[in-house]
């Protein structure tokens, strides 16, 4: 395997304080919980001794708060990039907590006709277009070194599916992208030769947490793009 010239790490934000179970999407006012801040500290500790020279963050509060301890440790100023923001959804602002499920209401069914697009939100191809552009810029800025991009679960997971040439059709419960997980894209030149994945805050994720569909912890996993 060729030694990577540059690595771009896609860091998902930590747990959000959201007692009402709101699908917050791109809404302002949703901050990390106390546990989420601990997760961010763990993620920072796992990255602070790497050769990170460039730090990017989604403009949403939860992403900036996740980037903050790493920025402090590295002495870097995060660059805000709208291209790595959360995807938009027609269900944004609705509450799924307390056993509520707005998707069971017939008025919402008209949005569910095409899960491959998906018909209820930002098309996967649009997410990939903006994310890959942001990743390419981060790679150029950190050429020969490493960059960190703090983003959100669906944009990160969709990017990985694209790189691995896998179908966008998937069960959201099966995304390998837990809270404060790191999906790392290893480049030789401008070509991705390897993807690695780790969960530095995996031991902090509550069992059965809806934002953590995968079991916490475990050794980093690696996969080459097909």
How high is the mean pLDDT in each 10-residue block of the chain (226 residues)?
84 94 90 98 97 98 98 98 94 71 72 80 96 98 98 98 95 93 97 97 79 32 44
What's the rounded Cα separation, in Å, for the pair 159 and 157? Answer: 5
Asked whether residue 69 is domain-assigned, the answer is: yes
Asked whether residue 1 is domain-assigned, the answer is: no
For position 99, what pLDDT does the model report?
67
| 190-to-48, 63, 193 alpha-carbon distances in Å | 24, 26, 9
Both tokens of 70, joined, read 């790493």
For position 21, what pLDDT does the model report?
86
77 burial (CB, 10 Å; 0-12 / 13-18 / 19+) is: exposed
Number of domains within the chain: 1
What's the rounded Cα separation, in Å, for the pair 226 and 221? Answer: 16
Using CA atoms in the order 124, 160, 225, 52, what is the torsion angle rounded to 10 degrees? 140
For position 100, what pLDDT does the model report?
67
Asked whether residue 178 is domain-assigned, the answer is: yes
52 Rama class: left (phi>0) / alpha (psi -120 to 50) / beta = beta
For position 222, what pLDDT does the model report?
41
What's the rounded Cα separation, in Å, for the pair 5 and 2? Answer: 9
**CATH code for the domain in which residue 128 is found:** 3.40.50.1240
Provide the residue range defining the domain that includes 40.
Answer: 6-223
Asked whether residue 109 is domain-assigned, the answer is: yes
What's the rounded Cα separation, in Å, for the pair 203 and 21? Answer: 22
Asked whether residue 162 is domain-assigned, the answer is: yes
Asked whether residue 123 is domain-assigned, the answer is: yes
Contacts of 198 by beta carbon, 8 Å cutoff, 6+ apart: 46, 181, 182, 184, 220, 221
Asked whether residue 98 is domain-assigned, the answer is: yes
- Could you say which DSSP state residue 13 is in? P
């Amino acid at each position: 395997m060729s030694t990577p010239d540059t690595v771009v790490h896609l860091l998902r934000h930590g747990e959000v304080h959201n007692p009402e179970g709101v699908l917050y999407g791109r809404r302002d006012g949703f901050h990390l919980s106390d546990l989420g801040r601990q997760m961010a500290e763990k993620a920072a500790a796992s990255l602070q001794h790497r050769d990170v020279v460039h730090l990017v963050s989604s403009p949403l509060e939860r992403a900036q708060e996740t980037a903050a301890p790493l920025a402090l440790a590295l002495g870097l100023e995060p660059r805000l990039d709208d291209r790595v923001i959360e995807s938009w959804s027609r269900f944004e602002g609705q509450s799924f907590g307390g056993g509520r499920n707005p998707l069971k209401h017939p008025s919402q069914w008209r949005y569910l006709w095409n899960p491959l697009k998906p018909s209820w939100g930002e098309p996967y191809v649009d997410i990939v277009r903006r994310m890959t552009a942001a990743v390419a810029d981060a790679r150029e800025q950190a050429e020969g070194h490493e960059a960190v991009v703090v983003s959100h679960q669906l944009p990160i997971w969709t990017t990985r599916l694209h790189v691995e040439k896998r179908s966008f059709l998937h069960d959201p419960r099966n995304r390998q992208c837990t809270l404060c997980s790191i999906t790392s894209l290893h480049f030789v030149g401008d070509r991705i030769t390897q993807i690695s994945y780790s969960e530095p805050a995996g031991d902090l994720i509550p069992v059965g947490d809806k934002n953590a569909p995968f079991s916490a912890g475990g050794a980093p996993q690696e996969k080459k793009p097909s």
